[in-house]
Structure 1
């Protein structure tokens, strides 16, 4: 009898003990859920976006290899499955060389129409019009800022990409240095830019970095002072935050027709 009472006493928990036990179970459950969310965000979204982006690159390269030409509209790289809009301003002056003639207008958001290549960081990613998360960036694409120049054009070709998650095409953008090359391939031509400067950190509101003559209004010693044919790459920094922006500026060096 005494033994059964002892066992029963040990089996009964006080309200405080039951509350602590419940809190412990809740903490374990929440920890498991957070771990699953972390895996989804850092691994699964990357896997999906990278596969989708590389599929689009393969489609574009296959189409260009077959000699497909942009005949469905004014946008560079446009085809029947990429209707056009007239949202981009045309370049003010003709870019250097016959092959550097840019498109008159961009394709619609969400359809890759160019391929960005950065040998230094092993990047090969599709470029789509717009910088919306759902339509462009979260699909692993590099987004083209509306109303900036198209590849090869006079002015500033401004591009944005995720640094973490959703394909993270600009994960290693901080490794670029002056003298590195950046290529943009389209249906009409191959454009090669050379990196001129890197702005490691600036405010998200420093919109002058994507101006036609790109410069920093926060850090006046960075940027260009003369009109030209430029390329600007932007992403968030530090990693896993959106506190600041990392900016890479390049200048058009050559253009060759397909």
Structure 2
């Protein structure tokens, strides 16, 4: 009787291992594609959809303000408005600059006091900022809270800073990217460009004078009553006056530094 010698088929084992490896790689590829699609959708939502929503809401707020004003902004006497408070209680979220170093230099002047009242009132827009060079028309609200103000596509006034047209520094913050990105192109502003602020029955025109392309988020001097960088002392002003300050993040899609644009109030007729 012949002995039966078992035959070992090595090729079949290799094919099984190869098939298993292919399955693992395929599953990994599917997972990578799925994660990529999810990330892409999140980016589209953040960069595109939030912009559409915020821009639409901001435009409607501007229209609502102009309807409430009744006339062309800046024309005629100022009708009575709610009392204004130079010490708003709205607590901003972590922001580009602390408001502690800036205060209104003329608290007794109505134009120097930001809008007040309940938080819902403070979060509503009370003015419109127009920048002809950029084709920008955007509402201005009290405070720089992200959810309540900035993420709506509004520009927010730093608490404690001077109001439009007043002595001191009317300091504003706005997103550069996403949520309406009203300040995306403020880096294109040049000396002599106009920054127009409309309120009920009043119009204030500022003229861009100086810019600071980059400073730290702790450079509180740029929103002081006499704005001057404490990080780069060569930038800013040294004399009291009526100023406007625009601040936003830089470089684009980053919040590492701050970009600053300053202007001075053009004397009225």
Normalising by the smaller structure, the TM-score range is: 0.7 to 0.9
* Structure 1: unaligned runs, 5 residues or longer: 1-8, 76-83, 96-100
* Structure 2: unaligned runs, 5 residues or longer: 1-13, 90-102
> CA offsets per residue over residues 106-165 of structure 1, 9 Å max, x none?
234320000000011110000000001000000000000000001011100000000000
The CA deviation at 1:92 is 2.9
The match for 1:31 is 36
- In the TM superposition, what are the counterparts of 1:155-170 in structure 2 within 5 Å? 155-170=168-183
Larger Rg: 2
1:41 paired to 2:46 = yes
TM-score by length of 2: 0.80
1:177 paired to 2:190 = yes
2:111 to 83, 89, 102: 102
Distance 1:11 1:39, change over 3 A: farther
Output the CA distance in 2 between the equivalents of 1:18 and 1:142. 53
Distance 1:255 1:61, change over 3 A: farther
- In the TM superposition, what are the counterparts of 1:130-169 in structure 2 within 5 Å? 130-169=143-182
Distance 1:71 1:92, change over 3 A: closer
SS in structure 2 at match of 1:184: strand
The CA deviation at 1:11 is 9.6
1:92 paired to 2:92 = no
The match for 1:4 is none
How many residue pairs get aligned? The number is: 236
1:129 to 132, 142, 155: 142
TM-score by length of 1: 0.84
The CA deviation at 1:93 is 7.9
Q: Once superposed, what is the RMSD of the aligned Cα atoms?
A: 2.6
Output the CA distance in 2 between the equivalents of 1:229 and 1:152. 7
Output the CA distance in 2 between the equivalents of 1:156 and 1:255. 18
